[in-house]
Amino acid sequence: MQAEKYIAIVNDKAEIELTASAPEQLDAVQTGQGQYHILHHGIAYRAEVIAVDSHAKAVHLKLNGKSHSVKIQDEYDLLVKKMGLSANVVHKISAIKAPMPGLVLSILVEPGQEVVHGEPMLILEAMKMENIIKSPGEGKVKRVVVSKGKPVDKGAVLIEME
Protein backbone atom coordinates (compact mmCIF):
# COMPACT_ATOMS: atom_id res chain seq x y z
CA MET A 1 0.00 0.00 0.00
CA GLN A 2 1.38 3.40 -1.00
CA ALA A 3 1.68 6.15 1.61
CA GLU A 4 -0.42 9.25 1.08
CA LYS A 5 1.77 12.05 -0.26
CA TYR A 6 1.51 15.79 0.46
CA ILE A 7 3.39 18.84 -0.70
CA ALA A 8 3.83 21.77 1.70
CA ILE A 9 4.48 25.04 -0.13
CA VAL A 10 6.21 27.49 2.22
CA ASN A 11 6.00 31.23 1.48
CA ASP A 12 4.95 30.44 -2.13
CA LYS A 13 8.54 29.29 -2.81
CA ALA A 14 9.89 26.16 -1.20
CA GLU A 15 8.13 22.84 -1.77
CA ILE A 16 8.57 20.13 0.86
CA GLU A 17 7.36 16.60 0.20
CA LEU A 18 5.68 14.85 3.14
CA THR A 19 4.09 11.43 3.53
CA ALA A 20 1.37 10.50 6.00
CA SER A 21 3.22 7.35 7.08
CA ALA A 22 6.50 9.05 8.01
CA PRO A 23 6.12 10.12 11.66
CA GLU A 24 9.87 10.60 11.96
CA GLN A 25 9.65 13.66 9.71
CA LEU A 26 8.18 15.85 12.46
CA ASP A 27 8.13 15.28 16.21
CA ALA A 28 5.66 17.89 17.49
CA VAL A 29 4.35 18.47 21.01
CA GLN A 30 1.64 21.01 21.79
CA THR A 31 2.87 23.38 24.49
CA GLY A 32 -0.07 25.77 24.62
CA GLN A 33 -3.06 27.07 22.70
CA GLY A 34 -1.86 27.08 19.08
CA GLN A 35 1.76 26.67 20.19
CA TYR A 36 4.06 23.72 19.51
CA HIS A 37 7.59 22.51 20.12
CA ILE A 38 8.88 20.70 17.02
CA LEU A 39 11.95 18.52 16.73
CA HIS A 40 13.09 17.85 13.15
CA HIS A 41 16.38 16.06 12.42
CA GLY A 42 17.65 16.97 15.88
CA ILE A 43 16.86 20.69 15.57
CA ALA A 44 14.27 22.29 17.88
CA TYR A 45 11.71 24.82 16.65
CA ARG A 46 9.02 26.93 18.34
CA ALA A 47 5.85 27.16 16.25
CA GLU A 48 2.80 29.34 16.81
CA VAL A 49 -0.30 28.98 14.63
CA ILE A 50 -1.58 32.46 13.78
CA ALA A 51 -4.45 31.69 11.37
CA VAL A 52 -5.91 28.67 9.59
CA ASP A 53 -7.81 28.77 6.29
CA SER A 54 -9.15 25.23 5.92
CA HIS A 55 -10.94 26.06 2.66
CA ALA A 56 -7.66 27.07 1.01
CA LYS A 57 -5.65 24.42 2.90
CA ALA A 58 -3.37 27.15 4.25
CA VAL A 59 -1.82 27.99 7.61
CA HIS A 60 -0.11 31.21 8.69
CA LEU A 61 2.39 30.54 11.47
CA LYS A 62 5.44 31.83 13.23
CA LEU A 63 8.43 29.52 13.35
CA ASN A 64 11.08 30.68 15.84
CA GLY A 65 9.50 34.15 15.65
CA LYS A 66 9.53 34.42 11.82
CA SER A 67 6.21 34.53 9.91
CA HIS A 68 5.53 31.86 7.31
CA SER A 69 2.63 30.93 5.06
CA VAL A 70 2.19 27.21 4.36
CA LYS A 71 -0.18 25.75 1.76
CA ILE A 72 -0.80 22.02 1.67
CA GLN A 73 -1.51 20.08 -1.51
CA ASP A 74 -2.84 16.55 -1.14
CA GLU A 75 -2.76 13.75 -3.70
CA TYR A 76 -5.88 15.08 -5.45
CA ASP A 77 -4.47 18.62 -5.73
CA LEU A 78 -1.26 17.13 -7.15
CA LEU A 79 -3.21 15.04 -9.68
CA VAL A 80 -5.25 18.05 -10.84
CA LYS A 81 -2.03 20.08 -11.17
CA LYS A 82 -0.31 17.26 -13.09
CA MET A 83 -3.25 17.05 -15.51
CA GLY A 84 -3.12 20.81 -16.07
CA LEU A 85 -6.68 21.30 -14.89
CA SER A 86 -8.08 23.91 -12.55
CA ALA A 87 -9.86 22.73 -9.43
CA ASN A 88 -11.16 26.23 -8.68
CA VAL A 89 -14.90 26.10 -9.24
CA VAL A 90 -16.55 29.43 -8.57
CA HIS A 91 -20.21 29.29 -7.64
CA LYS A 92 -22.94 31.58 -6.38
CA ILE A 93 -23.46 31.50 -2.63
CA SER A 94 -26.51 32.25 -0.50
CA ALA A 95 -24.95 32.49 2.96
CA ILE A 96 -21.66 32.41 4.83
CA LYS A 97 -21.84 30.19 7.90
CA ALA A 98 -19.50 29.85 10.88
CA PRO A 99 -17.22 26.83 10.36
CA MET A 100 -16.64 26.69 14.15
CA PRO A 101 -17.86 28.43 17.29
CA GLY A 102 -16.01 31.66 18.00
CA LEU A 103 -16.00 35.40 18.52
CA VAL A 104 -16.46 37.87 15.64
CA LEU A 105 -13.37 40.11 15.70
CA SER A 106 -13.88 42.06 12.50
CA ILE A 107 -16.40 42.37 9.68
CA LEU A 108 -14.71 43.15 6.36
CA VAL A 109 -17.76 43.55 4.10
CA GLU A 110 -20.96 45.58 4.07
CA PRO A 111 -24.41 45.20 2.50
CA GLY A 112 -24.42 45.84 -1.25
CA GLN A 113 -20.75 44.91 -1.67
CA GLU A 114 -19.85 42.50 -4.47
CA VAL A 115 -17.47 39.70 -3.40
CA VAL A 116 -15.45 37.20 -5.39
CA HIS A 117 -14.14 33.77 -4.53
CA GLY A 118 -11.45 33.88 -1.85
CA GLU A 119 -12.16 37.44 -0.71
CA PRO A 120 -11.86 37.89 3.09
CA MET A 121 -15.29 38.56 4.61
CA LEU A 122 -14.73 38.50 8.36
CA ILE A 123 -12.32 37.43 11.07
CA LEU A 124 -13.47 34.87 13.62
CA GLU A 125 -11.45 34.10 16.74
CA ALA A 126 -11.63 30.46 17.82
CA MET A 127 -9.39 28.89 20.45
CA LYS A 128 -7.30 32.09 20.57
CA MET A 129 -6.52 31.88 16.85
CA GLU A 130 -7.71 34.35 14.25
CA ASN A 131 -9.45 32.64 11.33
CA ILE A 132 -10.09 34.61 8.17
CA ILE A 133 -13.43 33.54 6.73
CA LYS A 134 -13.22 33.93 2.96
CA SER A 135 -15.95 33.82 0.37
CA PRO A 136 -16.33 30.29 -1.08
CA GLY A 137 -17.95 31.78 -4.19
CA GLU A 138 -19.15 35.03 -5.64
CA GLY A 139 -22.14 37.20 -4.97
CA LYS A 140 -23.47 40.36 -3.39
CA VAL A 141 -23.74 40.91 0.36
CA LYS A 142 -27.42 41.15 1.24
CA ARG A 143 -27.13 41.45 5.02
CA VAL A 144 -24.50 41.07 7.74
CA VAL A 145 -26.25 39.01 10.43
CA VAL A 146 -23.59 39.15 13.16
CA SER A 147 -22.01 42.00 15.09
CA LYS A 148 -18.37 42.67 15.95
CA GLY A 149 -17.47 41.34 19.41
CA LYS A 150 -20.37 38.86 19.57
CA PRO A 151 -19.98 35.07 19.94
CA VAL A 152 -21.36 32.70 17.26
CA ASP A 153 -22.10 28.98 17.20
CA LYS A 154 -20.84 26.53 14.61
CA GLY A 155 -23.11 26.63 11.55
CA ALA A 156 -24.63 30.01 12.43
CA VAL A 157 -25.35 32.27 9.45
CA LEU A 158 -22.86 35.14 9.53
CA ILE A 159 -23.63 36.88 6.23
CA GLU A 160 -26.59 36.54 3.87
CA MET A 161 -25.86 36.82 0.14
CA GLU A 162 -27.95 37.69 -2.93
Query: Distance of CA 20 to CAs 7, 44, 136, Å?
Result: 11, 21, 27
**What dihedral do alpha carbons 92, 95, 101, 107 form, nearest 10°?**
90
The answer to whether the pTM exceeds 0.95 is: no
Residues of the chain with CATH 2.40.50.100: 95-161
β-pairing, 58-63 vs 43-53, is antiparallel
pLDDT, tens digit (0-9, with 9 covering 90-100), for 24-57: 566 888 998 889 998 877 888 898 988 888 777 8
User: How far apart are alpha carbons 158 and 93 in whole angstroms?
Assistant: 13
pLDDT, tens digit (0-9, with 9 covering 90-100), for 72-127: 888 777 777 778 766 555 567 889 999 999 999 999 999 999 988 888 999 999 88
| Distant-in-sequence, close-in-space partners of 24: CB < 8 Å, separation ≥ 6 | none
pLDDT, tens digit (0-9, with 9 covering 90-100), for 133-158: 998 888 899 999 999 999 999 999 99
Question: What is the model's pLDDT at position 24?
Answer: 52
**CATH code for residues 95-161:** 2.40.50.100
